[in-house]
């Protein structure tokens, strides 16, 4: 059990969030830890996963309802939810939940919490995940990854996802470098959905994520959008 003072603190924080969302015209951004507290302590709270059905089947938060925000009928399907009850929304990394949160606000939902970092950040934080009916197959084990990155030649790892807009934006640059710099660096793209367990083991909780290895050691790490010139500079630096 939590000490009385900690319970009081939780109540104050949650109360502040609830009061803020009631008057907000847009969603309140919350961390996975705050979302977890909301889901455990706020009565009748709703949980919405706006990823694809395939992503949902690979794992999701317990008691989540799945409505794909990219479904043309998404707005119509919001009628399945109660606009008067508080709601936490999440996707893989945050971009789709932001879009969904805006649509929810326009649809009359006044207590919306957009979970920053999405499922990636949640699972990377060690919070409870409910495995789906079709767990991901073909993922790389930590042992395989360790052997791969033990090379004396630089190895650049790109954690991406098909449904991550920044990831897709980076792919052409990654593929270009893979082709042009094949003699200098080995570039490997890993699908986050298929390699979620490995990502958690490596502490990857946001994508796109780039890790440069040499002789089994991380020599450089970056998150989000990276300029081509930065990649080239870092590859030269570790050779």
C-alpha count within 13 angstroms, C-beta hemisphere, residue 162: 7
Q: Strands (DSSP E) along 128-208, which ranges?
A: 155-160, 186-191
112 neighbors 183 (Cβ within 8 angstroms): no
* Active-site annotation, residues: 164, 167
Strand order through the sheet with 217-223: 186-191, 155-160, 209-214, 217-223
65 neighbors 148 (Cβ within 8 angstroms): no
Overall residue count recorded for the chain in this entry: 239
């Amino acid at each position: 059990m939590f000490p009385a003072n900690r319970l009081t603190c939780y109540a104050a924080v949650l109360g502040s969030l609830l009061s803020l969302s009631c008057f907000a015209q847009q969603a309140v951004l919350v961390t996975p830890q705050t979302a977890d507290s909301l889901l455990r302590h706020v009565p009748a709270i709703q949980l919405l996963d706006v990823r694809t059905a395939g992503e949902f089947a690979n794992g999701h938060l317990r008691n989540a309802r799945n409505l794909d925000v990219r479904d043309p009928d998404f707005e119509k399907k919001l009628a399945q939810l109660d606009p008067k009850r508080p709601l936490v929304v999440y996707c893989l990394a945050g971009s789709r939940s932001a879009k969904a949160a805006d649509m929810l606000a326009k649809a009359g939902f006044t207590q919306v919490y957009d979970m920053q970092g999405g499922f990636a950040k949640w699972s990377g934080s060690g919070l409870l995940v409910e495995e789906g009916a079709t767990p991901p197959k073909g993922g790389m084990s930590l042992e395989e990854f360790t052997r791969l990155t033990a090379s004396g030649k630089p190895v650049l790892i790109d954690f991406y996802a098909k449904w991550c807009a920044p990831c897709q934006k980076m792919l052409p640059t990654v593929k270009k470098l893979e082709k042009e710099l094949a003699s200098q660096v080995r570039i490997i793209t890993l699908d986050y959905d298929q390699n979620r367990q490995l990502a958690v083991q490596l502490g990857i909780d946001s994508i796109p994520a780039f890790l440069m290895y040499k002789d089994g050691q991380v020599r450089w790490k970056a998150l989000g959008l990276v300029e081509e010139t930065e990649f080239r500079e870092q590859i030269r630096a570790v050779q």
